[in-house]
Structure 1
């Protein structure tokens, strides 16, 4: 039977309206399915029996307590420590207020610019000039013997300190969809009258050679997967070669042969335990008592009004469970998927006037850009900014310039009472 044209139009319009309604319903269902990520400082150092994970499933035979114990174990020269290194365990640099968090530790990075103004990694001479270490900007503070000790040549005139980063809750950060971070970057110019636009960099995935993902770990967003971040740190911070970073940075005084991080009786290498531990941690919690006070509530509104929240993004939702990430090497589990986190960061690179001049995986224009520091866990710190050069929160704010010049100016224009309220809000994080 033929249907009159006007009825076809009406029928199509009704169907379209139904589809729109269904779509909106699906969006609401998706939004409702997201739940708050579990929060807590629940990994007391060297007391893994009392630690509580976020509920992530463990590999067969493994436990969260065992993962933490491996994370806290001290390496020795016999099992590959060095020849150059910064610390003997992960927990040395990631412990305050408990295992996996940040600390007062900094690392040293150096380099120089060539005649075209492009950053170049240093050449570090060791062993009385007989050997060199190249291909990286980090300079280790320690060595297993004087022959391997690194020192900075005068030619390397770009020099900076970088704070060890918090890793609690980073499993949720890894589970953020690339598109979410890209969307945040694209929205920022409109929110800031064109003054702010976070840079997205594609970082290599070591466990999936040839593939990249939006960077989110490290001060330069130089890593996109936790396993890559960990494998790189195990080599460059402790000198332990592993399947992702199989070659020692120098063989001077090296006492081992082959890849040093070997699988245990469960078939898991140390880097696997480290990744499992970090993926199992809860996000840093807020001080809910202080957060409920009138001063903190007013401070939170000022934080948004001043413009801090354009980069220090309060809430992000992770990808759904079952999403395949990290070049196909990791699937977002139930414990990490569809979770709402409050990192107060966009995990993007910005020039706020405090850049260190170092380039890692990004293009040369990232030399003076740094990742927005996540503010969760801020109240557990006594020093601030990437170099720990600020001894108060208001000093840290005053150092903001460049893309953050406008919010910093607005902060300065607040009354003393308003400034105190905003800082009270920050003390809840």
Structure 2
């Protein structure tokens, strides 16, 4: 799905950020979050959502002595943040290794893609507003997610960007860092990995059906793998 690039007006790119992939660049995503989640207007989102209790005028997020606004610094911080590391000890156990094979056999890896190679260093993206640096280019990452929209039966019926058929679609969440989470799925309504998997219907119905057929030992192995992420 194509989403607008706020820093390059009139241009679009495949959306990758937000539960609905409604943003196509990291900076666009940050600018929108600053406005809608913190009430901070910025050069990319300069219009207040409400005037209730508003005591300021103009754009809140102003450039500093370096010429960078807070949204720019935040984008730099996120780009410089390391990916969540795996639990290498657990990942190397026989149970987790078997669980990874089951993960693939069930079809989970169709959407929760294990390996992605980032764009080459020097690639110009975001409507010409960002050039992939050496530190981020040509890197092999293991997000266990494709960052694309899918309908798995848990959608909210809301269209943010794109055609009407996106109403019940959600971005496939990357599973890296999963072991540090106590709640799962986009709505955080699942308190266990088993329940989260069982809620996968729609496009993931066949994978969920295969999960239902697993033995207790196979489920334990799958959970061992997931808890290593």
TM-score bin (small chain): over 0.9
Cα-to-partner distance string for 1:161-189 (whole Å, 9 max, x where unaligned): xxxxxxxxxxxxxxxxxxxxxxxxxxxxx
RMSD: 0.6
Distance 1:305 1:357 in 2: 31
Give the aligned partner of residue 402 of structure 1: 202
* 4+ residue segments displaced more than 4 Å: none
SS at match of 1:260: coil
**Shift in Å, 1:362:** 1.6
Distance 2:71 2:119 in 1: 24
Q: Which runs of 5+ in 2 are unaligned?
A: none
Distance 1:396 1:351 in 2: 15
Distance 1:351 1:409 in 2: 16
Distance 1:261 1:215 in 2: 25
Superposed, which structure 2 residues align to 1:19-168 within 5 Å? none
Give the aligned partner of residue 210 of structure 1: 10
Give the aligned partner of residue 196 of structure 1: none
Distance 1:423 1:362 in 2: 35
Distance 2:190 2:213 in 1: 20
Distance 2:41 2:97 in 1: 48
Query: Which of 194, 215, 218 is matched with 1:418 structurally?
Result: 218
User: Would you say 1:318 and 2:112 are equivalent positions?
Assistant: no
SS at match of 2:140: strand
Give the aligned partner of residue 366 of structure 1: 166
SS at match of 1:328: coil
Cα-to-partner distance string for 1:107-156 (whole Å, 9 max, x where unaligned): xxxxxxxxxxxxxxxxxxxxxxxxxxxxxxxxxxxxxxxxxxxxxxxxxx
SS at match of 1:213: strand
Distance 1:297 1:251 in 2: 55
Q: Which has the higher contact order (CA 8 A, sep 6+)?
A: 2
Superposed, which structure 2 residues align to 1:314-393 within 5 Å? 314-393=114-193
TM (norm. structure 2) is 0.99
User: Would you say 1:252 and 2:52 are equivalent positions?
Assistant: yes
Query: Which of 48, 68, 87 is matched with 1:268 structurally?
Result: 68
User: Would you say 1:302 and 2:102 are equivalent positions?
Assistant: yes
Cα-to-partner distance string for 1:63-120 (whole Å, 9 max, x where unaligned): xxxxxxxxxxxxxxxxxxxxxxxxxxxxxxxxxxxxxxxxxxxxxxxxxxxxxxxxxx
SS at match of 1:359: coil
SS at match of 1:297: helix
Cα-to-partner distance string for 1:276-295 (whole Å, 9 max, x where unaligned): 00011111111011000000
Give the aligned partner of residue 228 of structure 1: 28
Distance 1:424 1:362 in 2: 37
Distance 1:219 1:252 in 2: 27
SS at match of 2:109: helix
Distance 2:85 2:162 in 1: 32
Number of corresponding residues: 229
**Shift in Å, 1:301:** 0.2
Distance 2:54 2:110 in 1: 48
Distance 1:203 1:377 in 2: 27
Distance 1:392 1:252 in 2: 40
TM (norm. structure 1) is 0.53
User: Would you say 1:241 and 2:41 are equivalent positions?
Assistant: yes
**Shift in Å, 1:252:** 2.4
**Shift in Å, 1:250:** 1.4
Distance 1:330 1:323 in 2: 8
